[in-house]
A and B are shown apart, each in its own frame.
Chain A
Amino acid sequence: AQSVTQLDSQVPVFEEAPVELRCNYSSSVSVYLFWYVQYPNQGLQLLLKYLSGSTLVKGINGFEAEFNKSQTSFHLRKPSVHISDTAEYFCAVSENTGGFKTIFGAGTRLFVKA
């Protein structure tokens, strides 16, 4: 069974600074990888996804992530954050085992300070 570990529960950062949110996963089969963002009192929305191909994937709002198969990681990065990026970020892994059971990490709270 797959699992996802988000290594930081909270990441405080100053506005315009770069940020990296770390995610490691484990699975015995090929997986699809995702990052979702959740703003207060809202549902989750997809930031970016890795299905196959290039290991560097770009998403919305200037975010990107790199799939590293040997390290089983899928870290999320942004070169310069804004106050509006303050939210909860979830890494997710999905295995195709007849049905797509997508498992989420515990989440990382990104807090951008002025």
Chain B
Amino acid sequence: DSGVTQTPKHLITATGQRVTLRCSPRSGDLSVYWYQQSLDQGLQFLIQYYNGEERAKGNILERFSAQQFPDLHSELNLSSLELGDSALYFCASSPVFSGELFFGEGSRLTVL
């Protein structure tokens, strides 16, 4: 158990819909990262937050947005969903700026 909690574990929705994925980092970790894992794209970095502020951005689509709240939990919002958005979405947290990541078990999104 990494200490990172992600909900929901599985989500099935239709094209055009909007979903929200939630992540609670390990106790004491201020940084939260979001990754997308798919068979064709591998593990893609989406975005990083540190203590509520966006710190690094990767290949995140404009239809996707994220935020980190004062209690340090984070949410990833995916809108206007397309079939290609079907993937495993991971949240990770890290202590200070070490680069070492602790991953949650992921949220598997299926878009039909």
A44 proximal to B (CB < 8 A): yes
Chain A contact residues: over half helix, strand or loop, or mixed?
A: strand
Q: Does chain B have a CB within 8 A of A94? A: yes
Contacts of B28 in A (CB 8 A): none
Residues B55 and A43 in contact, CB atoms below 8 Å apart: no
Q: Can you add 10 more A-B contacts, CB < 8 Å, to A43-B104, A100-B99? A: A34-B99, A42-B105, A43-B90, A49-B99, A99-B48, A100-B55, A100-B94, A104-B42, A104-B43, A107-B42
Question: Does B27 make an interface contact (CB < 8 A)?
Answer: no
Question: In which size bucket is the chain A interface?
Answer: 20 to 34
Residue of A nearest to B31 (CB): A100
Partner of B90, one of A44, A94, A98, A101: A44
- B interface with A by C-beta (< 8 Å): 2, 4, 31, 33, 35, 42-43, 45, 48, 50, 55-56, 58, 90, 92, 94, 97-106
Q: Which 9 A-B pairs have the closest CB atoms?
A: A99-B55, A94-B99, A99-B56, A43-B103, A101-B56, A104-B43, A32-B99, A100-B99, A44-B103
Interface residues of A (CB under 8 A from B): 32, 34, 36, 42-46, 49, 51, 90, 92, 94, 96-107
